[in-house]
A = this chain, B = another copy of it.
Amino acid sequence: MATLSVLEPIRALVGERMSTALPLREQYGNDQTYNPGAAPDAVVYPSNTEEVQAIVKLCAEHGTPIIPYGTGTSLEGHIAAVQGGITLDLSKMDQVIEVNPEDLDCRVQAGVTRKALNAYLRDTGLFFPVDPGADASIGGMTATRASGTNAVRYGTMRENVLGLTVVTADGQIIKTGGRARKSAAGYDLTRLFVGSEGTLGVITEIGLRLYGVPEAISSAVCAFPSVEHAVNTVIQTIQMGVPVARIELLDELQMRACIGYSKLEGYKEAPTLFFEFHGSEASVQEQAETVGEIAGEYGGVDFQWATKPEDRNRLWEARHNAFYAVMATWPNTSAVVTDVCVPISRLAECITKTQQALTESKLISPLVGHVGDGNFHLSIMVNMDDADELKRAKALAEAMVEQALACGGTCTGEHGVGMGKMSYLEAEHGDALNTMRAIKKALDPQGIMNPGKVVKV
């Protein structure tokens, strides 16, 4: 077996930092989704880029698959070792390499998590805004083109990665991008590797944009008669150029879970928007007032606005604990979380039609959306041991994607393709998929980089 013969030279290289224990391998090859898991033949913990290079060269010689691994929080079967091979856990590469306050940038090893980075930055007055919820690694967030609640203001990983160090499938160490804010010097390899999900190379270091911690932050919460009223408020807010930092939508069901879990008073079981504003004292006040007026025009009720940290936290508590609220409200089920993204003018329609499919499925699926970007998620509650329920869950997820594509959207706004969304790429991209395949073949001719994910070659 190809894999086994490579284990000995890797062991010689990394010593104790390799494991072939079955329970560990199974843990690494399975995620929380209904995508089928598959254990790798070994888990290896490299400590630097050169070691990754040496391992990749050995794997290339032996034709052994490599699955780069951050924190394992991906949601579409990205980490399953479907052809066996080596899972490269980069968590030991956890150093912040440099922070340049004058340039508002930093460089980190791939295993640094976003919370660890922000803890490191605390005394600098700077922060890294991309926040997908989970405390994912920066390497994993880069590989899946993650985004989250702050993206409407600060962009996604696509906009916030300045450059990368990547070990290519043939074991070269390349540096893409750089520290200049912009460049027109050749093909944009940085953006090609951002979102490549480990299928084109192993990302080992990342240069990131940072931002000054805003002078003032304020929050607001407002309930609406319908999803459409809420979405129209968002559209108007963005059209007016209000630089809102977060706009989150929770539907009735999600609000019911949150109200029960967080023992909230004064909240309604109704479509609700949560806002966060960043800027100067005067600016956040102006932003909140403007949004309050817009919300009023669209039937928003009980617009609550807070500037003090404790009041802000109270308002946002429901949003922050949304996932735990779901798990607590419907215990003994798993939450299969899936996402799509559409042009915001089609968002209300897409959500409404998805909710019709949801009703037909007879499943419980609270909805949360990063609505400023037209991105929303269903948490489909499902008993994984109930074959019929699982089938209906998959059908619902499929209906949601089909609806998004019919609305001119994408099958995933931020979770990535992995295995779970591969079948939709043909419908979404048509012949452009041929170009993706040509790139995959050119950069990984042996097909050893996270095989069976993103594109079939």
Contacts and interface: CB of A to CB of B under 8 A. Distances in A.
A373 B181 contact: yes
Given A178-B409, A345-B100, A432-B174, A415 B241 contact: no
A411 interface: yes
Contact of A184 (B144, B243, B409): B144
Interface stretch (A17-25, A81-89, A434-442): A434-442
A260 to B, nearest CB: 32
B415 A184 contact: yes
Interface in A395-410: 408-410
Contact of A343 (B103, B145, B173, B279): B103
Contacts of A434: 172, 174
Given A172-B434, A178-B410, A183 B341 contact: yes
Nearest to A404: B180
A432 B343 contact: no
Contacts of A145: 182-184, 188
A150 interface: no
Interface in A20-53: none
B417 A184 contact: yes
B341 A409 contact: no
Interface stretch (A115-123, A210-218, A292-300, A302-310): A210-218
Contacts of A238: 104
A352 interface: no
Interface string A169-207: 000111110111111111111011011100010000000
A276 interface: no
Nearest to A239: B212
Interface stretch (A151-159, A264-272, A322-330): A151-159
Copy number of this protein in the oligomer? 2
Contact of A435 (B184, B279, B443): B443
A431 B172 contact: yes
24 contacts: A100-B345, A102-B235, A102-B345, A103-B343, A105-B343, A155-B159, A176-B435, A178-B409, A181-B341, A182-B341, A182-B373, A182-B375, A182-B414, A184-B195, A184-B412, A185-B421, A186-B195, A186-B429, A187-B439, A212-B239, A215-B241, A280-B286, A282-B283, A438-B443
Interface of A: 100-105, 144-147, 151, 155-156, 158-159, 168, 172-176, 178-189, 191-192, 194-196, 200, 211-212, 214-215, 235, 238-241, 243, 279-280, 282-283, 286, 290, 341-345, 373-375, 408-417, 421, 424-425, 428-436, 438-443, 454-455
Given A185-B428, A191-B192, A441-B442, 4 more contacts: A184-B410, A241-B279, A283-B286, A438-B442
